[in-house]
């Protein structure tokens, strides 16, 4: 049990990678507070996982929601050891001239400001406890330019830099901060996303990802959950300020796939 007795907050835990992380963290002995805006799905994940998990409605772009999310962990489970800043959106942006200011602001608030807010409101409890681990979900889009993803890519690159600054500011106080850069992972974000192309056949998408990624299969939410577990646990106790790429080798390739996605 790598997280025995630990308390974790996971944002975006109602779906995809966050739901997989919640399941794995509970298997590894953690108690988990899930924050999301998809209440029905979040409640269902919590019900499936039993008394070690609570679901709380929290919009990660709102500071007061993140404050109450951290408070729920402390009130319900007595502490806060791990924060998983995972919630995010990917929306059809088009080229820079096509993207509205409102859309840009929404993507940055949901993907980047949320991570800063999560850190800001989780750190006091971690400092008081003398340690903690913060893991955030960035993306290979924060490392490579992907077509028509200027706001998304900027938000994910921002997470990588926030992670580094958080890591060096809090290292001496026993708090580590790292992020994960997933490649193409088969979750509703890419196959059932009304804000970006709508419903697609997951099997067809899995085949396309298998063709694209050097390891010839689609990434699965559990691939990310395993990396998150390592970063959250003592197994990575000398690792901080890093962006760990989990992409089946996509970014190792000299040739960035240039297929137009919308």
Ligand X SMILES: NC(=O)c1ccc[n+]([C@@H]2O[C@H](COP(=O)([O-])OP(=O)(O)OC[C@H]3O[C@@H](n4cnc5c(N)ncnc54)[C@H](O)[C@@H]3O)[C@@H](O)[C@H]2O)c1
Closest to ligand X by CB, 168 or 199? 199
Stretch that binds ligand X, among 45-53, 118-126, 166-174, 182-190 (CB under 6 A): 182-190
Using CB under 6 A, pick the residue from 8, 31, 33, 36 that binds ligand X: 36
Contact (Cβ atoms closer than 8 angstroms) between residue 23 and residue 49 = yes
Q: Is 63 an interacting residue with respect to ligand X (CB under 6 A)? A: no
Q: How far is the CB of 74 from ligand X (least distance, A)?
A: 19
Residues of 185-216 as b/e, b for ≥16 C-beta within 10 angstroms? Answer: bbbebbbebeebeeeeeeeeebebbeebbeee
- Grouping H, G, I as helix, E, B as strand and the rest as coil, residue 249 is coil
Stretch that binds ligand X, among 82-90, 91-99, 124-132, 197-205 (CB under 6 A): 82-90
- Grouping H, G, I as helix, E, B as strand and the rest as coil, residue 70 is helix
Q: Is 90 an interacting residue with respect to ligand X (CB under 6 A)? A: yes
Q: How far is the C-alpha of 176 from the C-alpha of 82, rounded, in Å?
A: 10
Q: Is 15 an interacting residue with respect to ligand X (CB under 6 A)? A: yes
Q: Is 60 an interacting residue with respect to ligand X (CB under 6 A)? A: yes
Using CB under 6 A, pick the residue from 6, 9, 10, 18 that binds ligand X: 18
The 8-class DSSP code of residue 258 comes to: -
Q: How far is the C-alpha of 72 from the C-alpha of 66, rounded, in Å?
A: 10
Q: Is 160 an interacting residue with respect to ligand X (CB under 6 A)? A: no
Q: Is 243 an interacting residue with respect to ligand X (CB under 6 A)? A: no
- Grouping H, G, I as helix, E, B as strand and the rest as coil, residue 224 is helix
| Structure-token match 């990624």, residue found | 213
The yes-or-no answer on residue 152 being catalytic is yes
* Site residues (vs ligand X, CB under 6 A): 11-12, 14-18, 36-38, 58-61, 86-90, 110, 137, 139, 182, 184-185, 187-190
Q: What positions carry a catalytic annotation?
A: 152
């Amino acid at each position: 049990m790598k997280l025995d007795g630990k308390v974790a907050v996971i944002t975006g835990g109602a779906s995809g990678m966050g739901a997989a992380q919640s399941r794995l963290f509970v298997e590894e002995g953690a108690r988990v507070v899930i924050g999301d805006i998809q209440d029905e799905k979040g409640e269902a994940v919590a019900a499936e996982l039993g008394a070690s998990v609570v679901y709380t409605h929290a919009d990660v772009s709102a500071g007061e929601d993140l404050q109450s999310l951290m408070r729920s962990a402390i009130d319900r489970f007595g502490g806060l050891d791990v924060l998983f800043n995972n919630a995010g959106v990917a929306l059809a942006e088009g080229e820079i001239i096509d993207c509205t200011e409102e859309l840009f602001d929404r993507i940055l608030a949901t993907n980047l400001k949320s991570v800063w807010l999560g850190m800001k409101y989780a750190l006091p409890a971690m400092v008081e406890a003398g340690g903690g681990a913060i893991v955030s979900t960035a993306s290979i889009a924060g490392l490579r330019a992907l077509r028509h993803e200027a706001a998304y890519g900027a938000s994910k690159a921002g997470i990588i830099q926030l992670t580094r600054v958080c890591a060096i500011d809090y290292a001496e106080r026993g708090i580590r901060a790292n992020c994960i850069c997933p490649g193409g992972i088969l979750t509703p974000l890419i196959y059932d996303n009304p804000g970006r192309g709508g419903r697609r056949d997951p099997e067809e998408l899995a085949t396309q990802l298998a063709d694209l990624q050097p390891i010839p299969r689609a990434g699965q939410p559990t691939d990310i959950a395993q990396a998150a577990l390592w970063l959250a646990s003592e197994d990575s106790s000398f690792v901080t300020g890093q962006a760990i790429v989990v992409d089946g080798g996509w970014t190792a390739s000299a040739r960035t796939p240039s297929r137009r996605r919308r």
